[in-house]
Amino acid sequence: MAETPKSYEPKEIEARWYAEWMARGYFHADAAAPKAPFAIVIPPPNVTGSLHMGHALGTTIEDVFTRWRRMAAYNAMWLPGSDHAGIATQMVVERELREREKKSRHDIGRAAFVERVWDWRKRTGNRIFEQLKLMGCSLDWERAIFTMDPPYSAAVIEAFVRLHEDGLIYRARRLINWCPSCRTALSDLEVDYDEGTQGELYEFAYPLADGSGEVVVATTRPETMLGDTAVAVHPDDPRHRAKIGKKLRHPFVSREIPIIADAILVDPKFGTGAVKVTPAHDPNDFETGQRHNLAMISIFDEAGVVNKEGGPFAGLDRFAARKAVKAKLKELGLERGSKPHVHAVGHCQRCETVVEPMLSTQWFVKMEPLAKPAIEAVEQGKTKFVPETWSKTFFHWMHNIRDWCISRQLWWGHRIPAWYCAACNEAMVARTAPTACGKCGATELTQDEDVLDTWFSSWLWPFATLGWPNETRELKTFYPTTLLDTGYDILFFWVARMMMAGLYFMKKVPFRTVYLHTMVTDEKGEKMSKVKGNTIDPVEVIDKHGADALRFSLAWLTTSAAQGKNIKFAVGNAEDARRFANKIWNAKNFTLMNLDGYDADRFADRVADGPDRAEFDLPERWILSRVQRAAEMVDGALEEYRIADAAQAAYHFIWHELCDWYIELAKAGFARAGADVEARSKIQGALVTALETAMRLLHPFMPFITEEIWQQLPKPSGAPQSIMITLYPVRDVRFYDDASEASMALVQKVIVALRNIRTERKIPSSARVKALLAVGDDYKKTILEGYKTIIAEQGRCAEVRVRRSGASFSGEYQLSKMAMTMAGDVEVMVPLEGLVDTKDEAARLEAEKAKLEKRLGDLKRKLGDPKFVDRAPLEVVDKARAELAELEAALAKLVDGLRRLGGG
């Protein structure tokens, strides 16, 4: 689209207004303000992060609600912050260290490394905040917090100590997920499973120690046999019953392993019915080991290399060991075959390395007692999910929850507040470093080397950000928060855990509503990824088309999110939204050009109780009523978290009603009014009111352009200094005018019909036609008579004549030389003589008749379907019935017209 100099240029305007809002302190919410609170805490972006489309979507949604509520006189507070993102940040800084100084973190040591991370954060850690400002986010920056800030860290330690005191945190040697590359434990949630990995099911034999035969077992990971400490069979399996209790000889290490009976682990229908048991490297085997008191032998070191327990294979990487073990088994004649096997393989979420189940001493949180109150809170509706279907997913996970491994073998993060006594091994958990061992009094104490899982700090987010454990004014005012918006992918990582922590530490749910948005994909529905090269950088979109355009297009696209589908985004969506911005900008230009002599105070007085019907013309009564309907729709949709519906209702009003219709009507109105100041002022007032109200309605979605336009519009004295602090439009029923809306709808239909005739018959736009209207209903006839001028102006008619149906115009015009169409049940006819060729009117009418018949057939089928009639809302069914009646009348008239043509 060619850019004219008058088109909207977002860049300068957006930068100017954001700075202005900041300077005026509009984003800050005073916790002591005597207003109803509305609070959102931002899902803290990683300190390593830069803005991606997911953030753009989430922050658009959050800002829409915050701005909307702020304008509805709530004490709206949207709290910003960032997450230290332990493993992710550590990896970034390690990479930098390696690239710049060719050193590993071990080369410089823990203290120096942590120093580097802080330094890195100082240099780049606020980048995402700056990007959020470009988005127009009305975040309360004075409250910005980082999860490693001292007060926040104190809250993390407090939570750990309290849970430990209450017996909900324990240290134990358990089987955990280990990443041999990151060299840290991972929680179950940090492991991604590749469900369809093609592997093999490898069979080999363990010889019985007494030489009486062998037992064949199958495995997808032959190398783990180095850690086998039993073979299990089903107690009722006749193939193996006699062998239970006998010993097998391990071919590589000097131990005999027992044959045990276990009905839980073994499915006798699967394979040979004998299962090798590796308690130290498989979760099911671990449990079996506990049931049977088996030795648990770890065969790998932290890097996934076989340790001395692996006998001849020690020193081999786990995958090399797999090959070597197989080769050796073959050599010994113990290989019994292999077949292809599809199974799920766990990968580290950070680095994609295959995760190794490892036996390790770690810290855990006992989750079941925490999950219970969270389940109840959702059951009781104390927290609601939008869309509601997510509660099912939530319940399922919460009912099957497992203990959470919270220690990480990293350096960047909150160090675990536990100290160990060198003399007696006593472990002490404390808020501050103890000076002596509580058990033996020794003073040589060392702190646990590990740090806490990053999510252990993020699960405290809704209250630790507000000053917990202190009883602050902020907590009192803003907790529980009103709304949490986040991607559904972190429902368990974060949302469920915040529910648990909030209920445990605050005794109240952390948020009333959880809005779970879907993911933003590319236009084909593919996940955006740097590797695929299909990412869209929101900052680039903002640079080109403005933040308003990006925000509006995302809000618009949340339709698919409401249906649980991902949001397919293309830059074209932002271009469309930018065209919308241009349209509004042009409407503003038209308005400002026509405001000579306008007095905003006078107009405000005049419509203080709604417009006087006798004083205002139809277009003004109509637009003043329509803008209130739009307010009802937009505000109502936001109340129900239907963001896309809200955005679309605002768009529809502005584009189709205000710009396409009212501005055209106003042009004609101004032309008619000429120099009549009084007549002009009513049109001016309606125009300004409609546009000003529309800007407020649209403000939460497109904050910048709406502010700029709002500032330029005349307002009554005493108006606020910024659109941000005006009141959000809610329906004002004093402006509702059903009669005018019905009249206008009828007039619009006739005008559209006239325009269609002009287009279809290629009538030159300069030609003024005659319009002949015939209608059966007396009331409609009166309306059409009354608004002939408007019809003539908008339909470019020299003359408009209205008759009762049946009364014929044929005395005056030759029917065969008329174009005819239906506007609802109004016959619209245009004599074509002298304008265009008239011979194919009959064919055209036939085509229109076919169209009407098809629509009528569809409607009849729909209304004949009991499913539709019973399930659709009453007004939808009523509307369909009314349309049916109108279509039937229209068809009858068309048939009549055709008959007359045939006869004419």
> Which residues are near Zn ion by CB under 5 A?
179, 181-182, 348, 350-351, 353, 421, 423-424, 426, 437, 439-440, 442
Q: In angstroms, give the least distance from the CB of 440 to Zn ion.
A: 3
Q: In angstroms, give the least distance from the CB of 59 to Zn ion.
A: 29
Q: In angstroms, give the least distance from the CB of 88 to Zn ion.
A: 11
Residue 713 corresponds to which amino acid? L
Nearer Cβ to Zn ion (56/421): 421
Distance CA(575)–CA(598), nearest Å, equals 35
Distance CA(899)–CA(518), nearest Å, equals 57
Question: Which tokens belong to 375?
Answer: 């389940």
Q: In angstroms, give the least distance from the CB of 6 to Zn ion.
A: 55
Q: In angstroms, give the least distance from the CB of 351 to Zn ion.
A: 3
* Separate counts of helices (H) and strands (E) for the chain: 30, 29
Using left for φ > 0, alpha for ψ between -120 and 50, and beta otherwise, residue 890 falls in alpha
Is the Cβ–Cβ distance between 458 and 147 less than 8 Å? yes
Angle between helices 703-712 and 677-698 (to 10 degrees): 160
Q: In angstroms, give the least distance from the CB of 4 to Zn ion.
A: 54
Following CA atoms 285, 287, 293, 298 in sequence, which dihedral angle do they give, to the nearest 10 degrees? 50
Q: In angstroms, give the least distance from the CB of 95 to Zn ion.
A: 14
Nearer Cβ to Zn ion (450/645): 450
Give the DSSP letter string of 489-542. Answer: GGIIIIIIHHHHHIIIIISS-SEEEEEEE--EE-TTSPBP-TTTT----HHHHH
To 5 degrees, how large is the angle CA 695–CA 699–CA 704?
Answer: 95
Question: Which tokens belong to 222?
Answer: 């032959």
Q: Centre a 10 Å sphere on the Cβ of residue 446 and count the other Cβ atoms it contains.
A: 10
Q: Centre a 10 Å sphere on the Cβ of residue 535 and count the other Cβ atoms it contains.
A: 14
Nearer Cβ to Zn ion (187/482): 187
Nearer Cβ to Zn ion (172/440): 440
Q: In angstroms, give the least distance from the CB of 140 to Zn ion.
A: 36
Question: Which tokens belong to 355?
Answer: 């995760």
Nearer Cβ to Zn ion (242/351): 351
759-791: burial string, b at 16+ Cβ within 10 Å, e else: eebebeeeeebbbbbbbebeebbebbeebbebb
Q: Centre a 10 Å sphere on the Cβ of residue 67 and count the other Cβ atoms it contains.
A: 25
Q: In angstroms, give the least distance from the CB of 348 to Zn ion.
A: 3
Nearer Cβ to Zn ion (89/821): 89
Q: Which helix (H) or strand (E) holds 208?
A: none
Q: In angstroms, give the least distance from the CB of 406 to Zn ion.
A: 17
Nearer Cβ to Zn ion (76/452): 452
Q: Which helix (H) or strand (E) holds 769?
A: strand 769-775
Q: What is the CA radius of gyration of the chain?
A: 37
Nearer Cβ to Zn ion (181/338): 181
Q: In angstroms, give the least distance from the CB of 276 to Zn ion.
A: 27
Cβ-based neighbours of 147, under 8 Å, separated by 6 or more = 44, 81, 82, 83, 84, 153, 156, 454, 457, 458
Nearer Cβ to Zn ion (103/350): 350
Q: In angstroms, give the least distance from the CB of 182 to Zn ion.
A: 3
Nearer Cβ to Zn ion (446/470): 446
Q: Which DSSP category does 138 fall into?
A: -
Q: In angstroms, give the least distance from the CB of 410 to Zn ion.
A: 11
Q: Which DSSP category does 832 fall into?
A: -
Is the Cβ–Cβ distance between 721 and 677 less than 8 Å? no
Q: In angstroms, give the least distance from the CB of 353 to Zn ion.
A: 5
Q: In angstroms, give the least distance from the CB of 355 to Zn ion.
A: 8
Interstrand relation of 520-521 and 407-408 (parallel, antiparallel or unpaired): unpaired
Nearer Cβ to Zn ion (24/439): 439
Nearer Cβ to Zn ion (353/393): 353
Interstrand relation of 191-207 and 184-186 (parallel, antiparallel or unpaired): unpaired
Nearer Cβ to Zn ion (98/602): 98
Distance CA(900)–CA(880), nearest Å, equals 30
Nearer Cβ to Zn ion (183/292): 183
Instruction: Give the closest residue to 869 by CA, choosing from 880, 858, 854, 855.
Output: 880
Q: Centre a 10 Å sphere on the Cβ of residue 41 and count the other Cβ atoms it contains.
A: 28
Distance CA(617)–CA(200), nearest Å, equals 81
Distance CA(583)–CA(605), nearest Å, equals 30
SS3 at position 743: helix
Nearer Cβ to Zn ion (214/426): 426
Q: In angstroms, give the least distance from the CB of 194 to Zn ion.
A: 15
Nearer Cβ to Zn ion (345/570): 345
Distance CA(78)–CA(65), nearest Å, equals 10
Beta pairing partners, 46: 83
Distance CA(306)–CA(320), nearest Å, equals 10
User: Within 13 A of 472's CA, how many CA atoms are on the CB side?
Assistant: 15
